[in-house]
Amino acid sequence: MINDGFVRYSREQEEGDIDDEESEEAESQLSRLISALANSLHYVTDTFLWHFENDTTESRGKIVTVSRKTYRLNRISKISPLELLNRKINALDYDDALVIAKTYDLDTDVIYQAQWQDAEVSESAIHDYLDKIHDREWVLSACIRTFSNKPDLLRLLLNYGLKDTDILDKILNNGASSNKDEIIKLLREYPFKVNSEVKEFLGKLHISEKDIIICKYRHYFFKYLDRLRTYEVIVEEKKKHDIENGSMEDFEDNDGWVTFVDYASTFVDDYAVFRDLNIAALAMDYATEEFFKGLNVLFTHHGSETLPYRFTILEQIPETVNPDDYESFLPSVILNSNGELVERLWHEQPWREIDWVDNPILKQRILPNVSEELEVGGIKLNPVEYPAQSTLITKWYIDRAHKIDSVSGQVDKALELIHHGIRKNVMNLGTLEENLDMLAKLVYDCYPNLDSVSKSMSLKEFEALTEAEIIRVFLQYTDEKRIVSDIKKFIIPFLRILPSRRARLNHVLKDDIIDKIPISEPESKPLDLLYNYILDISSSNLKLVCTIFEASKPSLDAQERIIVSDEDLARIALACLYGNSRTDNWQDMTRIYECLPIFDEVSDESFDINSLQNYTPYEFFSLFKSKNEIQLQGIIDSLELHLNAAEILTRYDNAVPLCWFLQSSNDYILQKQLCIQLARRSGSGPENDEDRFKNEDEWTLLLKEILNLYENGKGVLSKISTEEIYKIFVSSLLSYGKFNLARKIILPTDQPQPLDITVAEQLVIDASREFFDNAPSGNMYHGYMKLAYECLQILPISDTLQSEIEFIEATHMLTEQKVYHQPGILIHPMQIRLAPNKLDLISRLLSTNEDAYYDSKSIMELAKKLGYRNDKVAEVKVMAMLADAALRDSNLNFAYNMCIDIVKIIKTISNMRNNDKKETLLDSVKDIAWRICYEVAKQDIFQNLEKQMILMGYALAMCPSDQAADILNIWRKIDNEYRLELIRKSNEKSLEKPKLVKPVVERVESSLLTPLLKGDRIKSVFSRFF
């Protein structure tokens, strides 16, 4: 010992103390290595090299003695006690370290700290080391940082550290208050009950940094102790969970061996992470993993950390999980002391009572920067008031149900969730439950095998449907076999809940309106939705409607009927029938008629259905709603009449919809059109051998059926008279070439004639003209022209009929002569009839046939048959045409004769009695006559000057006054030639002068040469002469 505090110490001791353990270990390892090498070398030398030695007599194992000397160098140095202490501690020589520390009065904390760090956690270690450490802050830190594989020892350590952190009295003594004891008592017994005085006191309280650190340790000791207990419980639950949920899979995957997680072996690492985890985030993980027992532990023992985020946590549960599995976590509603609907509190069981360090004011000062995570894995942790209001809980259930449906499409899961919500007194879930229930029926019961329904219809889309659309969705793929069961199974239950559903909706709407304006109940009855569906499909699928009505017959029990009310059944059925515009489902309509009820009929209250017009099924139904039983029976009776009529019309391929009978009830035109169609469509064309009716009896039966539709003015053809019916029917017979039957009907032998002969005659003419107009050729011995000709002969021939016959004959003549309408196109019979001036046809005939004029009698007869019989003007025109045709053929003699015949006709007219038409007629024929006489007389090739002068004289006598001078000049020229001819002939034969001619010529010439003689005078002279 030296006064300066240093000691003498050898180098060997110095180094030996430091490296003693290491050198011993290294030396032992080296000696074992050398020994192994030596033994190996001995074996080699003894086996392979011994025979090379000179002294073969020496033993192979002879021992050689080697001398060894050891030299030791000692150094004397000095070291401080603190450094020596540290070296002893590092060498784990804690006893010497304690001696040194006590000898030199050094701090022994470092020795006990080192011993604590090297020792296993145990109760004895705690008392042997931690109790002896004066730096209690280090002790607290060691208790926090130290881990053990045994939870009990870890709990012991945490509790040991906790007992040194209760410094509430010390902290509060730093504050200025007269009632510190009361505040201390309040904070210890009720940490969360803070009044204004306590709040003010704690806000102004001065807390040292060291005390803040100790408070932090106290906070974490409590936290880690709680987490330790939670971890132990969760591990036990996980073991059970693994056995329940994973054993079978593991059993198969590991060839029959079950593998479980050894949680004890990983306790230190797992707990080190677990104790600082965000409990809310961990709860979200458990929810995702469906580890509901672990979630229950967190909610129960860490409610303050999890329950504010309970909705976000529950939303992490997979949507495919059955709500029954997490029913206990679903929020429920109760009435609080104030009579308000609020959330039922979770039954929390904290691991301990609340400590003063948990006081929110102190906690804020102790941990000012500690904040919980607001987002975990991209999911926001949204705190919700606890307990929450009923409306918020309702909204959560609704949102969760929609999410389950949209994500998983499992409607049954969403429905089960809502069922739990209703059982937990959550309000305003009734409508959603009904929607989910109907959607579940639609997906799982109604159309379970149709992906188009199960995959396309979501809850959101279903909620957007109207009531009518819901019915249509349920019945969109139904058919005749299942329509009745579908309505009874799905539609009727829906209609039954509608009143309460509407009332509920009405109540919700009232709650949403600030001024509480009353909302009226819907006017329509629930059954009207079904009725509207029936009306809607009646136009396109009457068989379905028929099946519904057959399931509603009055003969069935009320429980079995779909439509229970007889009045409603009659109204809806009548609306469907009269609103249907199809004509191919009379069998179904008859079946519907047979389903109608029978009411007592009173005639004075009956309803005339014929007053109705064309309405849609909805309009008919709305109209029939106001009709009583008596009026409905009258409509049903009319329906029977209309169905019978419709059957007759259908039989003859002339079907009309039932509504037609309403439209035509007072419409003569419509009834007449129907009668015409009925008569005309019953036969085929006159040239078609495949006639629908094989004999006349069938035609006769048709006439009888049409008369039955008339039914003495009470039937569906009441606006048509029997005479009109006979006219239409006979006209149809004639149009189809049934001339014999038409004659029998027009001229019966056993009953009065149904038609006046003039009416019948007009029908025959009309039919003949129809054949005539449709004839492609004017040949009266073939085709339509033949029919036109024969049609006119079924009645006694009258002048009118004779003129029609002659016109056909004239057409035949024109056809035979090949008269052309245009170059290369033969004239059509229709063109002959429509020709405005049929004499032009004769002119065309004469111009195209140069020799036709020779048969002048035939031409004249043709003109008469064309409709000009007894027409003098036409006769003169035709004769002029003949003369003109002869003139073109240079046949002046024929032309001269025609002109003379024309003059004769004029003279005949002149001899007629005077009347108003005579002068007009004379003017017309003279205008024609003078022109043709003039044309023939002026021909230079005329060889007979006497005839030429005669014709020119006729022309001069009949021409207009302004033409007289020109004609007179020509006449003088001819006269000069005539005189020269007479002189030449007289010189040749005799000198005797002509007795008759000369005086005439001289008289005419003397008159013509009179001075101032003008046209009127010339015309007068010739008129008197001729």
Cα dihedral sign, 374-376-380-384: negative
Return the structure tokens found at 232.
């132990």
608 found inside a domain: yes
* Alpha-carbon dihedral 351, 354, 357, 361, rounded to 10 degrees: 130
* Alpha-carbon dihedral 933, 934, 938, 941, rounded to 10 degrees: -20
5 found inside a domain: yes
Work out the number of other CB atoms within 10 angstroms of the CB of residue 13.
15
685 found inside a domain: no
Residue 605 predicted with pLDDT over 80? no
**Residue written as token pair 């959603």:** 432
372 shares its domain with 521: no
Work out the number of other CB atoms within 10 angstroms of the CB of residue 665.
20
Q: Report whether 839 contacts 863 (CB < 8 A).
A: yes
- Phi, psi values for residue 939, rounded to 5°: -65, 130
184-198, 244-258, 833-847: least confident range: 244-258
Q: Report whether 238 contacts 246 (CB < 8 A).
A: no
144 found inside a domain: no
Q: How far is CA 904 from CA 876, 907, 929, in A?
A: 10, 5, 11
CA–CA distance, 410 with 416 (Å, rounded to integer): 10
Return the structure tokens found at 763.
């029908």
Residues contacting residue 115 through CB under 8 Å, at least 6 positions apart: 94, 128, 129
Of 214 and 685, the one with more pLDDT: 214
Residue type, 256: G
139 found inside a domain: no
Helix (H) or strand (E) holding 25: helix 11-44
In a 13 Å sphere around the CA of 727, the CA atoms on its Cβ side amount to 18
585 shares its domain with 496: yes
Average pLDDT of the residues of the chain? 83
Helix (H) or strand (E) holding 231: helix 209-253
Confidence band, pLDDT 50/70/90 cuts, at residue 311: very high
**Residue written as token pair 């010992």:** 1
pLDDT reported for residue 911:
86
| DSSP assignment letter at 389 | B
> Cα 924 to chain center, whole Å?
79
Span 369-373, mean pLDDT?
A: 59
CA–CA distance, 80 with 64 (Å, rounded to integer): 50
Of 934 and 63, the one with more pLDDT: 934
CA–CA distance, 416 with 422 (Å, rounded to integer): 10
pLDDT reported for residue 3:
38
Confidence band, pLDDT 50/70/90 cuts, at residue 1018: very low
Cα dihedral sign, 444-446-447-453: negative
Span 633-639, mean pLDDT?
A: 90
Return the structure tokens found at 498.
């509608």
200 shares its domain with 313: yes
pLDDT reported for residue 287:
95
Return the structure tokens found at 284.
């979200």
Span 163-169, mean pLDDT?
A: 88
Residue 272 predicted with pLDDT over 70? yes
CA–CA distance, 263 with 232 (Å, rounded to integer): 10
Of 363 and 472, the one with more pLDDT: 472
pLDDT reported for residue 771:
94
Largest CA distance in the chain: 220
Residues contacting residue 774 through CB under 8 Å, at least 6 positions apart: 784
Q: Report whether 451 contacts 443 (CB < 8 A).
A: no
248 shares its domain with 359: yes
**Residue written as token pair 């149904």:** 754
pLDDT reported for residue 959:
92
CA–CA distance, 354 with 350 (Å, rounded to integer): 9
631 shares its domain with 499: yes
538 shares its domain with 628: yes
- pLDDT tens track for 4-27: 444 444 444 444 444 444 444 555
Helix (H) or strand (E) holding 822: strand 820-822
Confidence band, pLDDT 50/70/90 cuts, at residue 337: confident
Helix axes 945-958, 1015-1025, angle to 10 degrees: 120
Residue 653 predicted with pLDDT over 70? yes
CA–CA distance, 551 with 588 (Å, rounded to integer): 14
Residue 1026 predicted with pLDDT over 50? no
Span 925-940, mean pLDDT?
A: 91
Residue type, 973: K
Helix (H) or strand (E) holding 76: strand 76-77
| Structural domain harbouring 3 | 1-48+71-79
Residues contacting residue 276 through CB under 8 Å, at least 6 positions apart: none
Of 843 and 36, the one with more pLDDT: 843
Residues contacting residue 813 through CB under 8 Å, at least 6 positions apart: 858, 862, 865
Cα dihedral sign, 841-845-846-852: negative
570 found inside a domain: yes
CA–CA distance, 1026 with 1024 (Å, rounded to integer): 6
| DSSP assignment letter at 72 | -
Is-above-0.75 flag for pTM?
A: no
Residue 544 predicted with pLDDT over 80? yes
Q: Which residues sit opposite 122 in a β-bridge?
A: none
491 shares its domain with 623: yes
Confidence band, pLDDT 50/70/90 cuts, at residue 49: very low
Q: Report whether 835 contacts 779 (CB < 8 A).
A: no
Residue type, 596: L
Last residue of a domain, one of 663, 679, 694: 663
231 shares its domain with 374: yes
Confidence band, pLDDT 50/70/90 cuts, at residue 1023: low
529 shares its domain with 640: yes
Residue type, 209: E
Last residue of a domain, one of 663, 695, 727: 663
Cite the DSSP H helix spans in 712-850.
722-735, 739-746, 757-774, 783-791, 799-816, 829-834, 839-848
Question: What's the total number of domains in the chain?
Answer: 4
Q: Is 1022 exposed, middle or buried (0-12, 13-18, 19+ CB in 10 A)?
A: buried
Q: Are strands 820-822 and 379-380 parallel, antiparallel or unpaired?
A: unpaired
791 found inside a domain: no
Q: Is 335 helix (H, G, I), strand (E, B) or coil?
A: strand
- Phi, psi values for residue 333, rounded to 5°: -125, 140
354 shares its domain with 500: no
pLDDT reported for residue 75:
67
351 shares its domain with 479: no
Span 879-888, mean pLDDT?
A: 93
Last residue of a domain, one of 634, 663, 692: 663
193 found inside a domain: yes
521 shares its domain with 654: yes
Cα dihedral sign, 312-318-323-326: negative
Residue whose C-alpha is closest to residue 320's, from 437, 415, 409, 449: 409
Residues contacting residue 310 through CB under 8 Å, at least 6 positions apart: 299, 329, 331, 346, 384, 386
Q: Report whether 631 contacts 609 (CB < 8 A).
A: no
Work out the number of other CB atoms within 10 angstroms of the CB of residue 958.
27
Return the structure tokens found at 499.
């009143």
- pLDDT tens track for 804-822: 999 999 999 999 888 888 8
CA–CA distance, 243 with 179 (Å, rounded to integer): 58
